[in-house]
Structure 1
Amino acid sequence: MTPQAVHLGIYDTMSDWEVGYVTAHINKRDWQRRPGRYRVVTVGATTEPVTTMGGLRVAPDITLDELSPDASAMLILAGSETWGPTNSGANTAFADAARRFLDAGVPVAAICGATLGLAAAGLLDDREHTSNAAQFVAFAPRYAGAAHYRDEPVVVDRGLITATGTAPVAFARSIFDALDLYAPDVADAWFDLYGTGDPAAFFRLEQAAR
């Protein structure tokens, strides 16, 4: 079976650590070294490589012009300096893509600064959501979703996952759940290991995964 694409938007100063758990585990082979059900496909505004916040050079697999919700299981957007109010137009095309995905019923996951971009696009006005703080997302021009803000690490509402930048593990868990990547006992053990540091969860995870 050909793995289904999970698309990851990439742009200069992307906060690579916010999606590290996501990409590693979506692309990870199982304990029998078989490919998983999904593969991460990177999407850029152009074909030019970008430089992440961590200094990694990443070349897009495809461009936004080639991106279609019909050929995707999810669109994931990480934070970056280019989502900020002074650069509000830099990632507009990625926010537009998120709108197309949500309109098509395909999930979108946004963390940290990406939530600011979605707020500026009006995508948080009628959905429950979170961000780095209520004050942070209020910086978005034309944001009208304050009544729907929730002070939680991750919030899921009608196909949209939003997360604070300090919760990459919880963000990953919500993405795994939305993709039905793991059975519930595996997902629980995974989160206990990476989210709480419980050493006993390592053995539970190994056993559950088998």
Structure 2
Amino acid sequence: MKNFSYLILVFLLGIFCGQKKETKKSEVVKVEKKLIFLIAPKDFRDEEFKIPYDYLTNWGIKITVVSAETTEAIGMLGMKVKPDISLDNLDYKNYDGFILIGGAGSVFYWNNKKVWEICQYFNENKKLLAAICLAPITLVKSGVLSQRKATCFKDKRALEEFQNANVEYLDKEVVVDHNIITANGPQAAEKFAKAILDYLKKY
């Protein structure tokens, strides 16, 4: 009788373990999307690049790192990243999303007309646009955030840009307004990454 009870227990454990394995498989279903990560040549914010990059590539998302040049970019905390392609050589229409990484160096792109053009293309085609820290100001200046809600690093100049462009500033870590996702700094990097993933899973 003891042997019979033992066999039943083993059988039930086998079923339970099998169910757990199936759940794990479903959790790691790959998301077949392609994103552009735009970083400044100098002083991009390390965590705002690394945390979303690692998180999203773990889900199978393909990321192309872009900068003004293909020479090694240096983060504010010393991280070194070799861009895959220069901004001028980027064929951006083949991607599902355009992600602007922040940091003090993101000011470099605030008035970049090529970046504005890319932002406008993604917005007009209802594709994902996302920016973190000071990078949302590039979205503001490109015109895609007019009469919409967003957040950014709480800087006096940045808030003035929001006000002047008729953008509603929300004092939150992450704001999602249709196809545009914004975040306010490095402490929000993981939430930013998760919001990007959630959007890509839906669309």
**TM-score relative to the length of structure 2:** 0.72
2:35 alignment counterpart? 6
Q: 5 Å matches for 1:100-179?
A: 100-133=121-154, 135-140=156-161, 143-146=164-167, 148-165=168-185, 166-179=187-200
- Shift in Å, 1:109: 0.8
| Residue-pair matches, total | 171
1:22 alignment counterpart? 52
* Percent of residue pairs identical: 27
Pick the structure with more strand per residue: 2
Task: Provide the C-alpha distance between the structure 2 equivalents of 1:57 and 1:114, rounded to a whole number of angstroms.
Answer: 19
Q: Is the 8 A contact 2:109 2:138 kept in 1?
A: no
Task: Provide the C-alpha distance between the structure 2 equivalents of 1:111 and 1:2, rounded to a whole number of angstroms.
Answer: 22
Gaps (5+ residues) in structure 1?
A: 29-35, 182-210
User: CA offsets, 1:60-98, max 9 Å, x none?
Assistant: 1122233344311211111122334x9844x55334322
RMSD over aligned Cα atoms: 2.8
**TM-score relative to the length of structure 1:** 0.70
- Shift in Å, 1:56: 2.2
Task: Provide the C-alpha distance between the structure 2 equivalents of 1:139 and 1:117, rounded to a whole number of angstroms.
Answer: 13
- Shift in Å, 1:141: 8.5
User: CA offsets, 1:114-170, max 9 Å, x none?
Assistant: 012222232222221111238452243883224x22222111112110111131122
1:41 paired to 2:70 = no
Gaps (5+ residues) in structure 2?
A: 1-29
CA change 1:96–1:81 in 2 (3 A) is farther
Look up the equivalent residue of 1:80 and give its one-letter code: G
Q: Is the 8 A contact 1:120 1:142 kept in 2?
A: no
Q: Is the 8 A contact 1:98 1:108 kept in 2?
A: yes
The structure with the largest alpha-carbon Rg is: 2
2:106 alignment counterpart? 83
SS in 1 for 2:171: coil
- Shift in Å, 1:25: 1.7
Task: Provide the C-alpha distance between the structure 2 equivalents of 1:153 and 1:142, rounded to a whole number of angstroms.
Answer: 19
Look up the equivalent residue of 2:34 and give its one-letter code: A
Task: Provide the C-alpha distance between the structure 2 equivalents of 1:140 and 1:102, rounded to a whole number of angstroms.
Answer: 19
Task: Provide the C-alpha distance between the structure 2 equivalents of 1:112 and 1:15, rounded to a whole number of angstroms.
Answer: 9
Task: Provide the C-alpha distance between the structure 2 equivalents of 1:49 and 1:134, rounded to a whole number of angstroms.
Answer: 28
Q: Is the 8 A contact 2:39 2:106 kept in 1?
A: no
